[in-house]
Chains A and B, each alone.
Chain A
Amino acid sequence: MGRVPRNGVAAARRSTEVIKAICRAEFTMLLRDRRTIVVSIVLPLFITPLLMFGSRWVQERRERRLATMDVRYAVTGSAHELAHDLIARAAAADTAGLLLLQTATSDPAQSLAEGELDLFVEALSPGEAWRDTTERDEISRGDTAAVPTLILHFREDRDTSERGARMLRRHFDELRRAHRVEMLESRGLAEMIGFGVVERHDLAGARQVAGLHIGRYLVLFVMLFMLSGGSVVAVDTLAGEKERGTLETLLTTAASRADIVAAKHLVILAVALIIAVIQSLNFLAYVALKLIPLPQGFVLDVPPEVTALIFVLLIPLAALVSGVLLLTSGYARSYKEAQLYFFPVLLIGIVPAVAPFLPGLSLRSAAVLVPIANIALAIKEVLVGRYDWPFIVAAWAVTAAAAWYVRRLAERVLSTERLIVPTVGESGQRSGEAVFTRRVLPAFAIMWAVFFIFASNVEGRMDLRIELLVNLVVIFFGGSLLLIRMHRLSARRVFAFRPVRAWVWPLVAIGAPAGLLAAAGVFRLASLVLPVPKEMLEAFGKGLMPEEIPFWQLVLFIAVLPGVFEELTFRGTLLYGLRKSLHPVPLVLVVGAVFGLFHVALFRIVPTAFIGIVLSGVTLLTGSVFPAMLWHALNNGLSIALGHFELDLAELTTLHYAGAALILLAVFAALWRIRTPYPELRTSRE
């Protein structure tokens, strides 16, 4: 067998042959799948226009019915003659065909409540007091002292009532305005009218107005068509192949992963585009047949060159959409799993497509860097006749790059063994230490969400002591215990309850104040990037140390308990869970960062993450959680003492911070010399 060149024309020709063969087979199989064709193409051809036609028919029928309905009304109050006169004039002026029918009643409010009346007008003479009622439409509230007042009583939950009240309100306003103008003119005060009738003069042409409307919706609709149509073939193309066992057959052929992905991407892209084009033509056909009427004055006139440009802009969008569908299908291990993923993908996918609806957002902004949103904005601008070429090209390139990247990810999926070979990495076991290692970070994400929701809802409304107890004991410690129990682990091992060398304790006593000072330096550094107002810091300090709580309780709740429970949670459970997944340096960084994220106030994240890193390092070097507990409690205790004596570490100089950092390094060097390493750490050889 001759050697086939890996590069050059022969390799390209071979790739083309492979891609052609896969595409042809995919299309053959798709066309033979009648159910898919019917569900994805034929049905939508009828359903979409039928839905639009049906909704319009229902709307029109409703309008007709409402127009011919009688509005039963009554008039009460001392100024009833005025009200009758105005209602008669309103009825005469109205062109909607609503018939006003006066109905006799002794208690209009009761009649309205029981449905015997649709509305009643309460007419008050000048100076008369407002009646206490909860359902009224206020007219000229400011005029009550000098002129009669009309109050419209109606019910918005009834179509006839709401419609009648709206009609009367409109006419009353009109009549009042006309009356004012008439009065001013009759007294020779026409100049007091202010200005004449405001006329609208739209400088945008009908084509541009239509372009704006089309531009807003076009990408959204195209995305919906492509996502719904493309998902039908995407789900079969990789997830379906895995389920049938044909993917493994294909992967044992000489076809490269890149060629397989390219072919399947092309198939999804073609199907998604075909379905989008069919649906669009179908829509236009219904418009042409006047089965779907366009709004009055709407000019659907897009020149061929603009149509061509829009098509060019849609190509990277279609490539990205089909790439995401392919990636999703590749990630799923079965047909059912893929279907499960497609719904959120559809929801998330259409979010950037609504960019043209956002007021004031133009392509010439950071939005040009957001795939899909940039194409949607570019198309809208092109349709209204704005051609910002550099940004149009940039939008095209950004979305095309995103499509290319997604395709590379899909290629990687085809090399991910656990996704392509069903038995690799599979196990029926749902608990145990190995499972815990994989699930500890998601578990902490859930814990964070619970903590965040609790903190956001009770902050300032609950006694600080109770809030801290819930956080520390229920959420942190309870969550940790739950994980330990679920995975049948030894609490002693997870929490690192191990004895430590005697020399560790004085080192902790020296290290804790140095660490606190160094953390203050880190905070000052972080403030250069993210400045924090002094008032915010003061408010936070007061919130954390309320004056009504005795000092000993502050020490207990803010120093001792966090020292114990936060250490059990972060340097105990989290560190134990990640010890085999990460090398020691990333391990302390990740545990520190997670610890920082749990201190949700943005300005606290960096310094607390720093302390978290320090405490993780102490735990790794001593093999025990106890030194970190003492260090943490001392750190928090010193903070309370500083607050109590109104000392501010932020006012120190760089020299102080540098000195503290040096002491901290010296303490770590000493801990390193007498280290008792944390067991079962991932070594550099692995």
Chain B
Amino acid sequence: MSEITVEARGLTKMFYDESRGEVRAVDGIDFQCRSGEIFGLLGANGAGKTTTLRMLATILKPTSGSATVMGREVGEEPEQVRRSLGFYSSSTALYPRLTARETIEFFARVNGYAPDEVPGRVRELVARFGIEEYADARVEKLSQGMKQKVSIARTVAHDPPVLIFDEPTVGLDVLNALDMQRVIGEFRTQGKTIIFSTHIMSEAERLCDRIAIIHGGALLACDTLEGLRTATGKRYLEDIFVYFATDREDGT
């Protein structure tokens, strides 16, 4: 049995929204992730996926509950937690006036990679992601696909054991989206823990070892695809999702 790397216990986040007042964006969710696993957070837009991941990445503080990454509490050792993870999101961007190489080097250094090993690590990542040709071009000059590769390279620049991918294929064309899925699959084989959020059912079906269905801030189900099929009697993930979401809305 592989080790538990990420654990959320009753994780809750409340916001004050001008139009709605107090909002429970995440409502007491529990889950565990293990090394060498792709853990999918499946939910519609606004379900609470990004808020959950931001709490794991220590950008947001939980209102109640707790979470650990590699055994460290997000609220107590935020810097150590962040050192153990790489965060990739469609909303996080790159510095436009740095080159691809400088970007990878920068993120390796600020994430605490041993300074004398940084040049070697940068060379390795540049070769691995096939960005040699444009490694010294400024990011602002790169195409979307090139930027995506640089973004992934900077996410893993410090070789973290846990990787968070928040809706990573949003805005990508089909080929780039497939490439992203391939890369994520490779990280799993390296034994990393991957938390992958998406609202695209086919992606979750294809990639995830376990899927957590999140809706209205609550975690409604968490199992393998087979387990979810057995529990609901539905074959397709779309139907499974609707099954749980409707149940929730009906209050049953």
Residues on A facing B (Cβ under 8 Å): 1, 3-4, 14, 17-18, 20-22, 25, 28-29, 32-33, 244-246, 248-256, 417, 420-421, 424-429, 432-435, 438
Of all chain B residues, the one with the shortest Cβ separation from A19 is: B110
Range of interface residues on B (Cβ < 8 Å) = 35 or more
Nearest CB of chain B from residue A426's CB, rounded to whole Å:
8
Of all chain A residues, the one with the shortest Cβ separation from B81 is: A254
Cβ-defined partner of B17 (8 Å) among A4, A14, A245, A425: A425
- Cross-chain contact A434 with B59 (CB below 8 angstroms): no
- Cross-chain contact A254 with B79 (CB below 8 angstroms): yes
| Contact A252/B92 with A421-B60, A424-B60, A429-B19 known, Cβ cut-off 8 Å | yes
- Cross-chain contact A248 with B91 (CB below 8 angstroms): yes
Nearest CB of chain A from residue B109's CB, rounded to whole Å:
4
Cβ-defined partner of B97 (8 Å) among A3, A22, A32: A32
Nearest CB of chain A from residue B75's CB, rounded to whole Å:
12
Residues on B facing A (Cβ under 8 Å): 15-21, 54, 57-61, 70, 78-80, 82-85, 87, 89, 91-98, 102, 106-107, 109-112, 115, 138, 154, 158, 161
Contacts of A250 in B (CB 8 A): 110
Question: Could you jot down 14 A-B contacts, CB within 8 Å?
Answer: A1-B83, A4-B83, A17-B115, A28-B97, A32-B138, A252-B57, A253-B110, A254-B80, A254-B83, A256-B78, A429-B18, A433-B21, A434-B19, A434-B21
- Cross-chain contact A28 with B111 (CB below 8 angstroms): no
- Cross-chain contact A29 with B98 (CB below 8 angstroms): yes
- Cross-chain contact A428 with B91 (CB below 8 angstroms): no
Contacts of A420 in B (CB 8 A): 59
- Cross-chain contact B106 with A21 (CB below 8 angstroms): yes
Task: Identify whether the interface residues of A are mostly helix, strand, loop, or mixed.
Answer: helix
Complex: A21 Cα to B21 Cα, angstroms: 41
Cβ-defined partner of B112 (8 Å) among A4, A252, A429: A4
Contacts of B154 in A (CB 8 A): 249
- Cross-chain contact A421 with B20 (CB below 8 angstroms): no
Complex: A438 Cα to B19 Cα, angstroms: 12
- Cross-chain contact A421 with B59 (CB below 8 angstroms): yes
- Cross-chain contact B82 with A252 (CB below 8 angstroms): yes
Nearest CB of chain A from residue B140's CB, rounded to whole Å:
10
| Contact A21/B110 with A1-B84, A4-B83, A244-B93 known, Cβ cut-off 8 Å | yes
| Contact A245/B91 with A254-B79, A417-B61 known, Cβ cut-off 8 Å | yes
- Cross-chain contact A432 with B115 (CB below 8 angstroms): no
Nearest CB of chain A from residue B76's CB, rounded to whole Å:
11
Cβ-defined partner of A427 (8 Å) among B17, B80, B83, B93: B17
Nearest CB of chain A from residue B61's CB, rounded to whole Å:
7
Complex: A432 Cα to B61 Cα, angstroms: 28
- Cross-chain contact B112 with A427 (CB below 8 angstroms): no
Known: A417-B61, A432-B19. 4 other contacts (CB 8 A): A29-B97, A254-B158, A417-B60, A421-B60
Complex: A282 Cα to B96 Cα, angstroms: 32
Complex: A248 Cα to B96 Cα, angstroms: 15
Complex: A133 Cα to B97 Cα, angstroms: 72
Complex: A254 Cα to B87 Cα, angstroms: 11
Contacts of B95 in A (CB 8 A): 25, 29, 244, 246
Nearest CB of chain B from residue A443's CB, rounded to whole Å:
15
| Contact A438/B97 with A252-B87, A253-B110 known, Cβ cut-off 8 Å | no
Contacts of A22 in B (CB 8 A): 110
Complex: A246 Cα to B147 Cα, angstroms: 13
Cβ-defined partner of B18 (8 Å) among A1, A244, A421, A434: A434
